[in-house]
Structure formats: structure tokens, C-alpha cells
Amino acid sequence: MSNGTANQASTVAYQVMWNRLISVVEEQAQALIRTAFSTSVREAGDLSAGVYDTQGRMLAQAVTGTPGHVNAMADAVGHFIRRIGYENMFEGDVYITNDPWEGTGHLHDITVVTPSFHNGKHVGFFGCTAHIVDIGGRGFGADANSIYEEGLYIPIMKFAERGEFDKTLQMIIRGNVREPDQAMGDMYALATCNEVGHHRLVEMMEEFGLENLSGIAAFILENSHIATVERIAALNNAEADGEMRIDGYSKPIDLKVHLEIKDDHILCDFAGTSGLDKKGINVPLVYTQAYACYALKCAIAPEIPNNAASLAPFKITAPENSIVNALHPAPVALRHVIGHMLPDAVYNALDKILPNTVPAEGAGTLCNFQVSVRPRTDEQAPPEAVRAEVLTFNSGGSGARPSVDGMNATAFPSGVMTMPVEATEHTGPVIIWRKELREDSGGSGKLRGGLGQHMEISAREGHEFDFSAMLDRVDHPAHGRQGGQSGAPTVIKRSDGSIMKGKGKQFVPHGQRVIMAFPGGGGYGEASERDPELVKRDLARGYISSTTAKRDYGFSDQEIAAIVEAAQRGESI
């Protein structure tokens, strides 16, 4: 071997250790999914896990989970260090919080941090976050006027000291939430997953004979920093503005973005964005940072793993008490409704700097709703009628990309999954009558926007329900890019034809269904430039109607009839 063998060899060892740490946090996340109780964690993957050095710098984060926790998790451990103090940290400690501003944006996210000790010395931290289904208060929804109505607040504190879990804290939590077993089960699952990570870290340190993580931390952070800065430096310095208007709760909201690419970093500022909403759709800055940063990373440095150094060059700011930098005590329970829209707003600016890179606007916000079912009250309910809370996650269509159609009924930017209908119908007395693609909902264009979906839900015979809607794009559909057309807007109504609102809790009487059509993504480029083969395929599959084929893509009646007939013969087109 050549000279510098020792250095070269240690580079190989560090490469192995970096891989290992990423595998450790993935495993930490898997342990959480397997032991968690809330559907939001175990079915939908609304969680995050990471490993940190003693200074609280994030070294690796699991890619399992959702982008909403990206920066929030990177910052969280710093807050724990400041609040708890190194001098009060002992082996066997576990810390906890659901502070929206020092955790991940709303009271429903529980963050648990565990210091890691090796040979009696403090060597780092493990942190994880999960969305639990209930934290008391009004219940999960947009209707609160301040954070105090949204549920129990747990400041940064010890969940366990030297291995002893705090009984008082547990009694307070149990006494304040609707599903105490489930909430405690999830909190223990969070502690367990950190433990799993810790054991694997210690094994690695023993294998490589490490006393501390400073060497590997420096290696990870330096390489990530160099790689990220290289990507940014490869872009020309430039500035651009973007904006997007969405429904909001009581009035429409304008999201305004100013982007500035400057040498080795990117500034993203939300000055000019609407102020706070009265209801719980406001966003703490950590969550704004997470989604804005996620959007930029996807477009500029997608394959660089998340850690303190790879996130640092993305600087996200917003004026205080704008809707994207809500301060205490603003209500923030549904901060995701606005947060999920931020990437589209950021892309409206970035498209001016980096053409042919970012997608058209899409559904953005997940099309979620929570159903509180109970025995009917208008008449005598049958004896077997019960109460239940049923939460579902669903997706509209994503925006068309410069060279690919948008994705049908697929979450973007959120990273969560939907729940199987058969599983949902086992959790409570509800029937989902329809869950399928929505024809003609993707914006026409050279590349078509992704299709939204139809959903219909009712309670079982003998029940009525409150329907808590968390939908947007009712009045503001996803716009196309470069001449592409808009996707279809959200539609929500009752089966008797009465109109329902996109947000807030609404009563649905016995025998009524809620009928929804979730939005499609915007198209990309002029529809006239679309490959006719793709139009044929879309028509054969019923992604578009004959009307659209004729109006937007100029197909003749004869051509349309031939395709429809071929499709009826089951020909794959």
C-alpha cells in the first residue's frame, strides 16, 4: 500500500461507520413502527428518528418517516441540552416534550430524547418523534382559538431519571387524553426505539474501538458540508420570488417566498406571507423550515443524507406572527395543512432560477379527515352502537414533472401512507363506499397532473358522526406550470346535496354519506404538445374523458370512438 496507509484505512473505516449509523437510525425507526399504537405512526409512518453527538448536532436521520420532522429534529436536541443541562444528565435518563416550538410543530408530536453513555461517559443522544392520535383538548382538528385548547402541553422534562420512569407525569398524561393506554404505549415505544439505537451504537463503538464520536462526527459533517456547498456553488447566484394562494380557514392565505442563492448557501424568506389565522392552522417556524428545506433539498441535493451540516446551508426565515412563523400561544394543531403547501410555493420561486427541474403545483396538503362516530341521537340507537375515533390519511394528485406525468393519488410532499379500507373498517363503525381515482382531475398539459381521488364515507346503520375536515384546494386548485392547466379542485358535500366546508368539525346525521373528490395536480407544458400515445392511453384507462381528449388534446370523435372501443375489448394501449 502507498504512503498514508493509516489515513486511507481510517477513511475506509469511517465510510463503514457512516453507513452503520444510517442503518442504526433506520432500525430505530423500524422498532418504533413495530411497537407504536397510533395508526398515524404504525400505518402511516408519521415519525422520525436520529442520532446526535454530545453537542446536539444531528449525525444521521432515518429516511423512513415524513419530511415534516427534518429540521425540527435537527434542532430539537439543542433545546433539550439547554433546558436540562449536561450536569443533570445521567445514564438511564429519558427526556420528553411536545412543545410545538422546541419539538416538531404541534402538541400531537411527542419527541423523546435519550442520552447515550458508553463506559460511563456521555457520547451522544438518540432522538425520535411520533404523531399520536390524541393529546386531549378539543381533539385533532382546526377549531381551537389558542394552543391551550389543543391539548396537554408537556414542557421539556425528564420522562425517566436513571432508569426510573416518572409516575406523576404518567398520571397527568393519562388523566388528560382520550386514549390513555394508547398514548402511554406510544411514549414507551419512543423510549424503546431510542434504546434499540443506543445498543447498536455501543456495539459499533466497541467494534471500532471508539471512545467518543468526535472523529466520525467530524468526518460525516465535513463531507456532507462539502457536498452540499458544492451543489449550491454549482448554481449561479440569483434571486427570485414566488407566491401561491390557498384556502386557509376563515380567509384565503397568501404564501410569499423570496429565494436567494448566494455562493455557499440559500436564503428562503417568507416576508409578505399572510398573518396568523384565528384557527389552528398556524405553523411554528421549525415546521416551515422543515418543508421549505425539504423542497430545496429535493431539487438541489437529493441524495445527501440529512444531518446538521447538510441542512445548515439552507437558511429559512419568516416574519414573526406570519402564518408560517406563529408564536405561542397561536393554535397550531393542523400546521401540516399549510406546511404541506410550502414546497409548491418555494418551487414557484425556484422554477425561475432552475428551469425544468421542479414539478407543477399538486394537491400538496394530505386529504385527511377524522370521524367521531357515536350512536344516533335522533332516534333510539340499536344496543350494539358504539363510539369511535377514526382517522384516515389520503392523497390527491401530485404536480406534473418536466419529463414525467404527476403521480396519481400519491402523497407529496408528505411521506405518509394511506390505511387499508379493510383495516379502517375494523377500527370503528364506518363504511367507506368509494376510494378510487378521479377521472379528469389531473391538469392537462404536455405532462399531465396526477389524478386525485373520490372517497365516500358513512357511519354504519344506527350511528351518526362528526366529520372533522382538514382539506384545502377547494377554492384554489393546483396551478399548472409552463402552460399546463390547473388540476381539479377539492369538492366536499353530503349525499343529500348540502355543501360542506373544507375545514372544521361538521355534523353528519344518521343515514347521510360524505362525498368527497380530492384535488388533482397541475399540468406541465402546453396540452397541444402532449404525446398522442399518452392521450390515447389516458383515454383508454379512463384517466381522462372523451370531452377532455377532444377539448384539450384535439382528438377527433372518430379517433376517440376507436380508442374507447379498443379499451372495451380490454386492449392495453
Partner 1 sequence: MTQSSIRMGVDIGGTFTDVVLEVGEEQFSTKVLTTYAAPENAIIDGMQQVCQLADVQPSDIGQIIHGTTLATNALIERRGAKTALITTQGFRDVIEMRTESRFEQYDLNLTIPEPLLPRQQRFILNERVDAQGNALIPLAREDVEALIDSIKDAGYESIAVGLLHSYLNPAHEQLVREVLADKMPDAMVSLSCEVSPQMREYERFNTVVANAYIKPLMKSYLGRLEGQLKQQGVDCSIFLMHSGGGIISIESAAEFPVRLVESGPAGGAVFAANIAARYGLDKVLSFDMGGTTAKICLIKNQTPKTSRVFEVARTYRFKKGSGMPISIPVIDMVEIGAGGGSLAHVDAMRQIRVGPESAGSEPGPACYGRGGERPAVTDADLVLGKLDPDNFAGGSIQLHTDNSKAALETVLGNTLDMDALTAAYGLAEVVDENMANAARVHAVENGEDLADYTMIAFGGAAPLHAGRLCEKLGVDRLLVPAGAGVGSAIGFLRAPFSFEANRSVYMRLSDFQPNVIRQLLTDLETEATKFVRSCDADAEIISEYKAYMRYSGQGWELPIALNKAQALDPDATVFRQLFEADYISLFGRAVEGMDIEITVWAVNATTPTELVEPVEVLTGSGEAAGNKTDVSPASAEMSLAEKKRTRTLFDPALGNSVEATVVLRHDLQDGQLVEGPAVITEDETTIVLPSSRQAIRQSDGCIDVRTKS
C-alpha cell at 407: 403521480
**Nearest residue (CB) to partner 1, 111 versus 310:** 310
35 binds partner 1 per the rule CB under 8 A: yes
Kindly identify the residues of this chain, within the stretch 199-218, that bind partner 1 according to CB under 8 A: 200, 207
Integer-rounded Cα radius of gyration of the chain: 25
Kindly identify the residues of this chain, within the stretch 136-165, that bind partner 1 according to CB under 8 A: none
Kindly identify the residues of this chain, within the stretch 536-565, that bind partner 1 according to CB under 8 A: 540-543
Kindly identify the residues of this chain, within the stretch 170-199, that bind partner 1 according to CB under 8 A: 181-182, 185, 188, 192, 195-196
Residue 95: C-alpha distances to residues 114, 188, 458, 543 (Å): 6, 12, 41, 50
Q: Read off the DSSP letter of residue 472.
A: -
Stretch that binds partner 1, among 30-38, 78-86, 141-149, 255-263 (CB under 8 A): 30-38
Considering only 312, 433, 511, 534, the residue that binds partner 1 (CB under 8 A) is: 433
**Nearest distance from residue 99's CB to partner 1, in Å?**
26
**Nearest distance from residue 82's CB to partner 1, in Å?**
30
**Nearest residue (CB) to partner 1, 267 versus 421:** 421
Q: Nearest CA to 187 among 270, 128, 243?
A: 128
| Half-sphere exposure for 437 (CA within 13 Å, toward CB) | 20
Q: By CB under 8 A, how many residues form the interface with partner 1?
A: 99
Per-residue burial over 343-374, b if 16 or more Cβ lie within 10 Å, else e, is bbbbbbbbbebbeeebbbbbbbbbbbbbbbbb
CA dihedral 331, 290, 190, 97 (to 10 degrees): -40
**Nearest residue (CB) to partner 1, 236 versus 572:** 572
Stretch that binds partner 1, among 72-80, 124-132, 241-249, 421-429 (CB under 8 A): 421-429
Residue with cell 383515454: 539
Kindly identify the residues of this chain, within the stretch 511-540, that bind partner 1 according to CB under 8 A: 540
Residue with cell 391539548: 151
Q: Do the strands 388-392 and 368-375 form a parallel or antiparallel pair, or are they unpaired?
A: antiparallel
**DSSP per position, 174-204:** HHHSS-HHHHHHHHHHHHHHHHHHHHHHHHH
Tell me which H or E stretch contains 21: helix 5-35
297 binds partner 1 per the rule CB under 8 A: yes
Kindly identify the residues of this chain, within the stretch 222-261, that bind partner 1 according to CB under 8 A: 223-224, 226-227, 230-231
Considering only 31, 74, 142, 190, the residue that binds partner 1 (CB under 8 A) is: 31
Considering only 374, 421, 512, 526, the residue that binds partner 1 (CB under 8 A) is: 421
**Nearest distance from residue 412's CB to partner 1, in Å?**
7
**Nearest distance from residue 548's CB to partner 1, in Å?**
15
**Nearest distance from residue 297's CB to partner 1, in Å?**
7
Q: Kindly report the length of the chain.
A: 573
456 binds partner 1 per the rule CB under 8 A: yes
| Identity of the residue numbered 562 | A
**Nearest distance from residue 371's CB to partner 1, in Å?**
15
**Nearest residue (CB) to partner 1, 70 versus 508:** 70
**Nearest distance from residue 83's CB to partner 1, in Å?**
27
Distance between CA atoms of 32 and 24, rounded to whole angstroms? 13
C-alpha cell at 255: 404564501
**Nearest residue (CB) to partner 1, 224 versus 274:** 224
| Half-sphere exposure for 471 (CA within 13 Å, toward CB) | 32
Stretch that binds partner 1, among 151-159, 247-255, 411-419, 471-479 (CB under 8 A): 411-419
Distance between CA atoms of 308 and 314, rounded to whole angstroms? 11
**Nearest distance from residue 530's CB to partner 1, in Å?**
17
312 binds partner 1 per the rule CB under 8 A: no
Dihedral class, residue 479 (left if φ above 0, else alpha if ψ from -120 to 50, else beta): beta
**DSSP per position, 226-289:** HHHHHHHHTSPPEEEEEEEEE--SSS-EEEEEEEEEETTEEEEE-TT--B--SSS----HHHHH
**Nearest distance from residue 436's CB to partner 1, in Å?**
4
**Nearest residue (CB) to partner 1, 33 versus 147:** 33
**Nearest distance from residue 430's CB to partner 1, in Å?**
9
305 binds partner 1 per the rule CB under 8 A: yes
**Nearest residue (CB) to partner 1, 410 versus 545:** 410
Number of Cβ atoms within 10 Å of the Cβ of 12: 9
Tell me which H or E stretch contains 560: helix 557-568
Tell me which H or E stretch contains 296: helix 285-300
Residue with cell 344516533: 376
Considering only 315, 374, 460, 505, the residue that binds partner 1 (CB under 8 A) is: 460
Stretch that binds partner 1, among 247-255, 261-269, 281-289, 293-301 (CB under 8 A): 293-301
Note if the bond before 329 is cis, omega within 30 degrees.
Answer: yes
340 binds partner 1 per the rule CB under 8 A: no
Q: Read off the DSSP letter of residue 96.
A: E
